């Protein structure tokens, strides 16, 4: 039985890959993915067991008899948490739309036109990634305060869009640069204006890049803690990363609810990641690791 399995396994191995080497590779993979996935497994496991099991001083990996959906019921029936979920979604979607709406034309312009100061725009894009956020925070807050955008969703969207835009432009520029200029020329011959070239040629040809950029903007907004904690002062504008504090007080933490809320917070970005994963990895290979 084992022999036939080994034989069948061997037939699936490439040249130069011995069973011994494959065994070594698998054991190292298991070691690494244990480090990677056990904490995640433990998070999910903790979110579906009873409170009594959570505090049990024994290692029980899958305590079937003590499984419960109560933590999720508690989290999802919490109205404030639901409001935070809605805020997170609205803010992240709006950030994505705004970022792409501004970022696509901006990237097109730095990719295709050579105007005075273009190099400085590109340099600004890169170096703005490298500023100490905390230094920017203070003036940013006073500006937002002056224009009355503190504690509004619009203000947070604005903050997030400003935060992710430079990188998105930089990312898209890489994709746009890869499209041959001859296509632009041909379209121009056919009487297309710059806007038409952008929407008929550049955008359709770089959809994977745009998907990655959209993902980056969404995740940047969804995961942000710092700007929301600064700009949001009431439940009406708070988002999920802050919402996770709903289930803990200084004295006590409801770990069942906290772990369930953490899973709920993580699900949207993990699902989106699964959707763009292939393009993300391709982009990494194309841009030589510059992307994301």
- Closest approach of Cβ 128 to another protein, in Å? 5
Phi, psi of 59 (to 5 degrees): -95, 105
* Residues in 103-132 that interact with another protein by CB under 8 A: 106, 123-124, 126-132
Q: With respect to another protein, which residue has the nearer C-beta, 52 or 190? A: 52
> Do the beta carbons of residue 159 and residue 144 sit within 8 Å?
yes
- Closest approach of Cβ 190 to another protein, in Å? 32
Q: How many CB atoms sit inside 10 A of residue 46's CB?
A: 18
User: According to CB under 8 A, which one of 77, 234, 249, 285 is a site residue for another protein?
Assistant: 285
User: Considering the rule CB under 8 A, would residue 13 count as an interface residue with another protein?
Assistant: yes
- Token duo for residue 192: 């297309």
Q: With respect to another protein, which residue has the nearer C-beta, 2 or 134? A: 134
- Closest approach of Cβ 251 to another protein, in Å? 14
User: Considering the rule CB under 8 A, would residue 288 count as an interface residue with another protein?
Assistant: yes
Q: How many CB atoms sit inside 10 A of residue 158's CB?
A: 21
Phi, psi of 237 (to 5 degrees): -120, 0
- Closest approach of Cβ 134 to another protein, in Å? 4
Beta-strand ranges (E) seen in 107-201 are: none
Q: Rg of the chain over CA atoms, in angstroms?
A: 24
* Residues in 193-222 that interact with another protein by CB under 8 A: 219, 222
Candidate ranges 11-19, 71-79, 177-185, 188-196; the one touching another protein (CB under 8 A): 11-19
What is the C-alpha separation between 98 and 104, in angstroms, rounded? Answer: 10
* Residues in 220-239 that interact with another protein by CB under 8 A: 222-223, 225-226
What are the distances in angstroms from CA 8 to CA 12, 21, 27, 178? 7, 16, 20, 43
What is the C-alpha separation between 178 and 209, in angstroms, rounded? Answer: 11
Query: What does the H/E/C string look like for 191-232?
Result: CCCHHHHHHHHHHHHCHHHHHHHHHHHHHHHHHCCHHHHHHC
DSSP SS3 for 149:
coil
DSSP SS3 for 237:
coil
* Residues in 172-191 that interact with another protein by CB under 8 A: none
Site string for another protein, 20-59 (x = CB under 8 A): -xx--xx-xx--xx-xxx-xx-xx--x-------xxxxxx
Residue in this structure with the two tokens 């948490």, named with its chain if needed: 81
- Closest approach of Cβ 138 to another protein, in Å? 5
Candidate ranges 64-72, 194-202, 205-213, 254-262; the one touching another protein (CB under 8 A): 254-262
* Residues in 58-77 that interact with another protein by CB under 8 A: 58-59
User: Considering the rule CB under 8 A, would residue 93 count as an interface residue with another protein?
Assistant: no
Number of residues forming the site for another protein (CB under 8 A): 79
- Closest approach of Cβ 180 to another protein, in Å? 19
């Amino acid at each position: 039985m084992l022999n036939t399995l080994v034989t069948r396994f061997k037939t699936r191995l490439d040249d130069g890959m011995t069973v011994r080497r494959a065994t070594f590779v698998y054991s190292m993979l298991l070691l690494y993915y244990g480090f990677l996935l056990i904490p995640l497994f433990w998070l999910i496991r903790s979110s579906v067991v009873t409170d009594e099991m959570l505090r049990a001083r024994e290692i029980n990996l899958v305590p079937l008899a003590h499984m419960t959906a109560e933590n999720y019921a508690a989290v999802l029936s919490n109205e404030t948490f639901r409001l935070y979920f809605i805020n997170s979604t609205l803010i992240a979607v709006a950030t994505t739309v705004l970022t792409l709406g501004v970022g696509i034309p901006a990237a097109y312009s730095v990719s295709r036109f050579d105007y005075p100061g273009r190099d400085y725009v590109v340099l600004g894009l890169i170096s703005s990634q490298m500023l100490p956020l905390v230094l920017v925070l203070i003036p940013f807050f006073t500006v937002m305060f002056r224009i009355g955008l503190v504690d509004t969703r619009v203000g947070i969207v604005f903050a997030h869009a400003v935060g992710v835009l430079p990188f998105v432009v930089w990312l898209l520029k890489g994709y746009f640069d890869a499209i041959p200029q001859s296509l632009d020329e041909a379209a121009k011959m056919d009487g297309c204006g710059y806007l038409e070239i952008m929407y008929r040629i550049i955008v359709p040809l770089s959809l994977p890049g745009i998907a990655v950029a959209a993902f980056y903007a969404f995740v940047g907004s969804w995961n942000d803690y710092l700007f929301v904690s600064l700009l949001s002062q009431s439940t009406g504008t708070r988002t999920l990363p802050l919402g996770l504090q709903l289930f803990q007080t200084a004295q006590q933490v409801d770990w069942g609810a906290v772990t369930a809320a953490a899973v709920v917070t993580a699900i949207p970005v993990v699902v989106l990641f699964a959707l763009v994963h292939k393009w993300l990895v391709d982009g990494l290979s194309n841009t030589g690791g510059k992307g994301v």
